[in-house]
Structure 1
Amino acid sequence: MLSRVADSLYWLGRYIERAENYARFIDVNSNLALDLPPQLNEQWEPLIAATGDLESFKARYKTCDRTTAIYFLAFDLDNPNSLFSSVSKARENARIVRENLTKETWEVLNELYLRMKEGNFKKIWNQEDPRPFFIDVKYRIQLLYGIAYNSVARAEGWYWVTLGQYLERADKTSRILDVKYHYLLPSPEDVGSPLDQLHWMALLKSVSAFNTYRRVFGNISPEGVVEFLVLNRKFPRSIYFCLTEAEICLHEISGHPAKGFGNKAEKLMGELRSQLEYDDIADVIDHGLHEYLDHLQIRLNQISTAIYDCFIGIKDNFNVQISEQE
């Protein structure tokens, strides 16, 4: 496979996953704002912080309220990570490699892009209740996932898209969890209060984990939430699960056996996955949650850079590259 094709497929997976996360984040935060006491801010700033774009937002907007936050996160094309920007870039990458996609996949993605244009025209961010729009966007992306899962051959192209999807998902799960500890809790006195519980519920809903968590752990506790979202081996949005699936994709792409590694990207991925495999919640808490998650995010960035160096930035034919390494 040509490196430019692999690059487009990889970023197609990342941008679609990013868009789905943003749609869900906005939906959950809009609902949370309705449940908060009137005297509290709607707390949109923590959501922007979770995306990593708070500095960019503050440089361009004087106030952080629901209107400016939703516009920035969803429709601002000058924000390269906005929902609309992500959908637009996903569509462009899909157009470049359209021969690698099914007809149905392209049609749903194109309809999603047109839906975003419609939302921009109708100025959804100014509407009293924007949630139905973002729920619709989320469902359209999930439809896209379902069509691809049931119609795309498990060839190299599939693994490139899936690799991008899981790395993006691991990054967003780590960020939204990290922000909880730094922004969401109003004061130490509120620890364990109904307000605190409300925030933890919103956090779980932000990663579609609330119902599954309650079945596994029952009562909501900070330690339980951290263990579930970081170390759980069966939940599809836990960081450990994402890294395990991403590692499988890397080995399928390179053709190297699952045990061991054949390049730097596989080495870094295997090291990080192994660390989480043998960590427990006590290790995370002892290390400090913020420091632990910050370390994870740095390692994820290193893995992404290594993937580019090993597969995309060097040669046009991966089979040639792999044979030279062996």
Structure 2
Amino acid sequence: MLSRVAENLYWMARYIERAEDTARLLSVNSHLMLDLPGRLPLGWAPLIEMTGSLETFTARHSDFEERNVVHFLCADTDNDISIISALASARENLRTTRDVVPREIWEEVNQLYLSVADHAENGVSPRRRDSFLKSVIRGCQALTGLIEGTLSHGPARTFIELGRQLERADMTTRIVDVRSASLLPQNPEELLPFENLQWMSVLKSLTAYQMYRQQVRLRVRGPDVLRFLLQDPNLPRSIACSLETLGHELTLLPRQDRPAATVSLVRADVVDADIQALAHSPSKLHLFIDELQIGFAAIHDTLSATYFVNDDSVPRVTQTQSQSQSQSHAGDNDND
């Protein structure tokens, strides 16, 4: 497989997962805003910080009013990390390489983009937001199911899976970070009566609530939820499961020693994490998530250096998303 084709498939999968998980991130914050008392200053600004787009946002908006933030993350075509931009980038990546996947996959990506583009502006209103975000999530899940059911096992499928799992791990940490220091009031006693509600919202945003109840069989508690979302080997959206899948997919490729070693190091950090300490200290949880995101950036860098050729002679359109809350990395889309 050509390096260019592999890179485009990898980024196509990342952008689809990014669109789905940005919708999930908005959903969990919307639900928390409804569940918590109005006197608790949850706010929308931390979502901009989590997505690494603070500088871009403040250049266009003077405040973090709800509609500004939701529009920026859903429907702003000039924002590289909005849902509509992510789907546009996924579509462009697949357009140039669609001969290596079943035609139905290209048609589904194209239809998903067109549908979201038609409804994005109206979908940011509080009245229609929940329905819009659910439609994005379900559309992305339908596409993932189509890929799983129609694409032969081979290099194309492997690079799609690498992109999906890395983006999923990164974005799941951002959703968990909704419960971290960046979103909580400074006085934790105010939140004590609502702690379980917050963790329940995070579980539901990841479609993990029922699986949690089956696995844990106890009431929703912070340490148990955090352990489930970080370390459970069987939950498809847990960090440990995503990294385990990443490692397995790498065994199917040549020259995988360095990327596999990087994945193993990050996974060890997740498996060995002190869950009790993280669950009872939002600031520690926030820092731990930041470290994980830096680790995910390292995984991407090793994948890129090993399998993708960065040819400056080829015209490219760069889409940028912060891979951590302290570093930014760019993903390139071939435009030929």
Question: Normalised by the shorter chain, which TM-score bucket?
Answer: 0.7 to 0.9
Partner of 1:269: 263
Partner of 1:304: 300
Residues 284-317 of structure 1 deviation map (CA, whole Å, 9 limit, x = unaligned) = 67993233222211111011011111111279xx
Alignment pair present for 1:15 and 2:15: yes
Partner of 1:259: none
TM-score by length of 1: 0.86
Residues 102-144 of structure 1 deviation map (CA, whole Å, 9 limit, x = unaligned) = 1221111111111122114x53324633221221121111111
Unaligned segments of structure 1, at least 5 residues? 257-261, 316-326
Identical-pair percentage: 35
Partner of 2:91: 91
**Distance change >3 Å, CA 126–CA 282, structure 1 → 2:** closer
**Distance change >3 Å, CA 77–CA 154, structure 1 → 2:** same
Q: Does the Cα contact within 8 Å between 1:6 and 1:312 map onto a contact in 2?
A: yes
Q: CA RMSD in A?
A: 2.3
Output the amino acid matched with 2:180. Answer: Y
Partner of 1:129: 128
Q: Secondary structure at the match of 1:128?
A: helix
Q: Secondary structure at the match of 1:154?
A: coil
Alignment pair present for 1:291 and 2:291: no
Partner of 2:230: 230
Q: Does the Cα contact within 8 Å between 1:49 and 1:179 map onto a contact in 2?
A: no
Q: How far is the alpha carbon of 1:253 from its aligned partner?
A: 2.1
Partner of 1:159: 158
Q: Distance in 2 between matches of 1:276 and 1:222?
A: 17
Partner of 2:103: 103
Q: How far is the alpha carbon of 1:151 from its aligned partner?
A: 0.9
Q: How far is the alpha carbon of 1:161 from its aligned partner?
A: 0.4
Q: Does the Cα contact within 8 Å between 1:42 and 1:66 map onto a contact in 2?
A: no
Q: How far is the alpha carbon of 1:241 from its aligned partner?
A: 0.6
Q: Does the Cα contact within 8 Å between 2:42 and 2:184 map onto a contact in 1?
A: no
Q: How far is the alpha carbon of 1:192 from its aligned partner?
A: 2.8
Q: Secondary structure at the match of 1:77?
A: coil
Q: Does the Cα contact within 8 Å between 2:29 and 2:178 map onto a contact in 1?
A: no
Q: Distance in 1 between matches of 2:171 and 2:177?
A: 10
Q: Distance in 2 between matches of 1:284 and 1:39?
A: 26
**Distance change >3 Å, CA 53–CA 211, structure 1 → 2:** farther
Q: Distance in 2 between matches of 1:279 and 1:20?
A: 27
TM-score by length of 2: 0.84
Q: Distance in 2 between matches of 1:112 and 1:46?
A: 28
**Distance change >3 Å, CA 145–CA 264, structure 1 → 2:** same
Q: How does 1:177-196 map to 2 (within 5 A)?
A: 177-186=176-185, 187-193=187-193, 195-196=194-195
**Distance change >3 Å, CA 181–CA 28, structure 1 → 2:** closer
Q: Does the Cα contact within 8 Å between 1:265 and 1:306 map onto a contact in 2?
A: yes
Partner of 2:75: 75
Output the amino acid matched with 1:124. Answer: G
Alignment pair present for 1:53 and 2:56: no
Q: How does 1:138-153 map to 2 (within 5 A)?
A: 138-153=137-152
**Distance change >3 Å, CA 214–CA 48, structure 1 → 2:** farther
Q: How far is the alpha carbon of 1:71 from its aligned partner?
A: 0.6
When Rg is computed on C-alpha atoms for both structures, the one with the higher figure is 1
Q: Distance in 2 between matches of 1:181 and 1:42?
A: 11
Q: Distance in 1 between matches of 2:126 and 2:174?
A: 28
Partner of 1:201: 200
Partner of 1:216: 215
Number of residues of Structure 1 aligned to a counterpart in Structure 2: 307
Unaligned segments of structure 2, at least 5 residues? 312-336
**Distance change >3 Å, CA 55–CA 206, structure 1 → 2:** farther
Worse-matched range after superposition: 180-189 or 245-254 = 180-189
Q: How far is the alpha carbon of 1:239 from its aligned partner?
A: 0.8
